[in-house]
Chain A
Amino acid sequence: MHAMRNWLIGGILMLALSAVPPVCQGMNMPDSITLDSLVQLYDKVKFDHAKHINLIKDCAVCHHHTTGTLVEDPNCVRCHKNSSETKVVACKGCHSSQPFSAETLKEKQQGTKLYHQDKPGLKGAYHQNCMGCHTKMGGPTGCLDCHKRTKAGDALYNSGTYAPQKTQGNAAGHGH
Chain B
Amino acid sequence: MKRRDFLKGCMICGAASSLGISKKAWGSGSFEGYPEGMGVLVDLTRCIGCRSCEAACNKEQQLPEPKVPFDDQSVFEEKRRPTEAAYTVVNRYEQSGGPVYRKVQCNHCNEPACLTSCFVNAYTKTKEGAVVYNSKVCVGCRNCMIACPFNVPGYSYSSATNPVIKKCIFCYDTRLKYGKPPACVEICPQEVLTFGHRNDLIKIGHERIRETPDKYVDHIYGEKEVGGTGWLYLSSVPFDKVGFDNTLGNEPIISNVKEFLGTVPMVLSIWPALFTGFHLLSTRQKGHGDDHGHDAHSKSEQEGAKK
Contacts and interface: CB of A to CB of B under 8 A. Distances in A.
Contact of A175 (B56, B68, B85): B85
Interface in A78-125: 99-100, 102, 105, 108-109, 111, 117-118, 120-121, 123-125
A123 B67 contact: no
Contacts of B186: 100
A171 to B, nearest CB: 8
Nearest to B178: A102
A75 B155 contact: no
B69 A175 contact: no
A165 to B, nearest CB: 9
Interface in A102-153: 102, 105, 108-109, 111, 117-118, 120-121, 123-125, 127-128, 131, 141, 143
A124 B189 contact: yes
Nearest to A104: B196
A105 to B, nearest CB: 6
A121 B191 contact: yes
- What does DSSP make chain A's interface, helix, strand, loop or mixed? loop
Nearest to B191: A124
Given A100-B181, A100-B195, A174-B158, A131 B190 contact: yes
A176 interface: yes
A124 B66 contact: no
B55 A105 contact: no
A117 B181 CA distance: 17
Query: In the complex, which range does the number of interface residues on chain A fall in?
Result: 20 to 34
A108 B71 contact: no
Interface of B: 46, 48, 50, 52, 55-56, 58-59, 64-71, 83-85, 154-158, 179-181, 185-191, 194-197, 199-200, 203-204, 207-208, 211
Interface of A: 41, 75, 99-100, 102, 105, 108-109, 111, 117-118, 120-121, 123-125, 127-128, 131, 141, 143, 156-159, 162-164, 170, 173-176
21 contacts: A41-B187, A100-B196, A105-B195, A105-B197, A108-B197, A109-B200, A117-B200, A117-B207, A118-B208, A124-B188, A127-B190, A127-B191, A156-B70, A158-B58, A158-B65, A158-B69, A159-B70, A162-B69, A163-B69, A173-B64, A173-B85
